[in-house]
Structure 1
């Protein structure tokens, strides 16, 4: 039986602690906050998107980097096992659009309560307000951790599950990256991921709060298409967000230093240009004596009309029967490619996850143990792993946490 310390009371840390205790080890879970699962509490807009109910094979397709590293983790603890874990421990779950799995109650606090119940049942000692200062290593072997208050806790195994740099208010201040560097690990460059964009256009403020469903978004750099997808997006006071743009941020992360990027929104993706032209012509014929600004009410949400009229270059007061064919065709092109300029990513405070982390080349994918320090393990977002939205990042946390806890001898 080993003495095990788990640093970090998030998804990966709690799952690692539960699993290690289930193997019969003496486990202490250290959390610097006043409670466990602070980041879980705010995920999925407070509902907690636990995992995704897709085929296990499909999980890999939603991991942006180093998906092969997760082979053992995903098959040792699959998304189906995670669902079974929560249901068998008294948390009813449901599957929504996009195979996203949530607690039936729609309360992330119920997910945390379930984990706390199991931690207690397994005899895990939870120490809150316990911030780790550094790892103690002797002769390439972990010996324990030194706390910020000066006390030393001895351990034969330590699992670092401290999360990333995103949502700093939840305590994710990048401590794990520092611990890893101090003991000789490589930490790859860190970027905010699943994060909104800022745009150059000043009129964006007029669209603040407007959500668009069933639109296509294309992002390009010098004519090269970097991202093209269909779904839902949101305008903010500084730029654009919502599922489409959060996923886009992970796809175009490599261009963080090569901004600006050109973005276009197809506001009517179900219609070809010709069909859209006919639709507009029909609307114009019905409103032929009305002004342009009053003849496009059916085409767009009210908030968008002043902006799109301005960008069209057609006078808002112009009667629709006076609009030329060329003006109308330019208007069609605007609707099919509504232009925006992405100037930069928002910062870590608004990022759902961190891209980058402890290099997976220095971690054993079958056990999550460090290849540099014996008895040291890593799990969750502290590793150089990131995925798209839809429950995939939490699945990485559950799977790597489970594998780390399960691999301790």
Structure 2
């Protein structure tokens, strides 16, 4: 008999789960109230879609700080290279960039979501715009989904509704509610890959709108260095954002229990000795200028007043009067520009939700619930999340694949 499967959620993992179940011969209905599938997928990677990371199982797991071991089985059967092969077979040519990040050659996320939609149609997956209201559970097994417009009977249900970040894309938290109603535990939800809020009285508000490229960033947790990276960041009215900061935020998981500080290296290409030579050269050029007017070759205009204030050097002190100690101290400031972080921004501002359905309540091989028979989970709904670089989408593909295949199998 053909199994009837309902997949709740038409994002990355939901589409993959639906395709995978249909490939195994199931009759699949995909529930997605949004006007289009893959709404969040289409805005990932600044609209370019960082499809996956060209990595094997061990490399993938090294980039999943939260419950990575749970994903071992799913990644073993569908790693980054498998995901690349899958999408190229769907007609999406791919390219590999810095850090093994994988993008469509076209740099268009719509090419990825479009290929998935075509595959869904080819597999005769029924797309329904209804919203799931509750699960129908009888004798410890799921038997269908109640929607706002009636009931859909099912032999298995896959919940793939995503987290609670980017609510405008349809991440409403419905999946967490349905999971709790089915007897599951949902761990506390917070943002990961999220902008960061500076402590009161900081400098970021004065620098808002300033983007810094090619800078170093070090994260300190209780004054202990825990992460260093290189790239681009943006100052905002509340603190800092940009690719470098979003990546850093995934390492900052104990707000309220630990303190966090960022240090920006404004001149990462120069060590302190080389930087001091550069300062000497600039200071010779501007020997008769005030200190505040001698930094235009060194720093963006918006940053100069902040750096002058932090340096402790009087802004109208003539450059020829700046002492060696003052100059070297200023050099250290350029290499260690610090920002004290108060908190992450709200989860709604995050790219990824950290927290979700407790992994100990899910079979890691099949993604089936240990609480309710024939109920499966995939993607961001589960309490796993990763660093930037295509790893979170890889979680979506691998768990969606595992859930789809397992749900479609006829059990004895």
Common fold by TM > 0.5? yes
Answer whether contact 2:216 2:228 (CA < 8 A) is retained: yes
Aligned to 1:93: 94
The 5-angstrom pairing of residues 1-20 of structure 1 reads 1-20=2-21
Answer whether contact 1:260 1:344 (CA < 8 A) is retained: no
Aligned to 1:147: 147
Report the Cα offset of residue 191 of structure 1: 0.9
Alpha-carbon deviations, 1:207-257, whole Å to 9, x = none? 223222332222334423343333332212221112221122111122x22
5+ long unaligned stretches in structure 2: none
Q: Distance in 2 between matches of 1:402 and 1:67?
A: 17
Alpha-carbon deviations, 1:165-196, whole Å to 9, x = none? 00011110111111111111111111111001
Aligned to 2:397: 398
Aligned to 1:131: 131
SS at match of 1:136: strand
Alpha-carbon deviations, 1:137-176, whole Å to 9, x = none? 1111111011123x11100100000000000111101111
Aligned to 2:384: 385
Aligned to 1:39: 40
The 5-angstrom pairing of residues 190-339 of structure 1 reads 190-200=189-199, 201-254=201-254, 256-258=255-257, 261-339=260-338
Answer whether contact 1:215 1:231 (CA < 8 A) is retained: yes
SS at match of 2:65: strand
Comparing 175-184 and 290-299, the one that deviates more = 290-299
Q: Distance in 2 between matches of 1:122 and 1:53?
A: 27
Report the Cα offset of residue 41 of structure 1: 1.3
Report the Cα offset of residue 48 of structure 1: 0.9
Answer whether contact 1:259 1:343 (CA < 8 A) is retained: no
Answer whether contact 2:56 2:79 (CA < 8 A) is retained: no
SS at match of 1:385: coil
Q: Distance in 2 between matches of 1:313 and 1:140?
A: 68
Q: Distance in 2 between matches of 1:54 and 1:153?
A: 39
Aligned to 1:112: 113
Comparing 130-139 and 301-310, the one that deviates more = 301-310
User: Would the alpha carbon gap of residues 65 and 202 (structure 1) be closer, same or farther in structure 2, given more than 3 Å must change?
Assistant: closer
SS at match of 1:38: coil
Report the Cα offset of residue 276 of structure 1: 2.0
Alpha-carbon deviations, 1:57-96, whole Å to 9, x = none? 2111111111111112112222122112221122222222
Aligned to 2:406: 407
SS at match of 2:315: coil
SS at match of 1:251: coil
Aligned to 1:349: 348
Q: Distance in 1 between matches of 2:227 and 2:57?
A: 25
Q: Distance in 2 between matches of 1:79 and 1:274?
A: 42
RMSD: 1.6
Q: Distance in 2 between matches of 1:54 and 1:299?
A: 39
Alpha-carbon deviations, 1:92-148, whole Å to 9, x = none? 2222222211112222111111111000000100002x1111111111111101112
5+ long unaligned stretches in structure 1: none
Answer whether contact 2:13 2:399 (CA < 8 A) is retained: yes
Answer whether contact 2:65 2:385 (CA < 8 A) is retained: yes
SS at match of 2:339: strand
Aligned to 1:361: 360
TM-score by length of 2: 0.94
Answer whether contact 2:223 2:260 (CA < 8 A) is retained: no
The 5-angstrom pairing of residues 173-188 of structure 1 reads 173-188=172-187
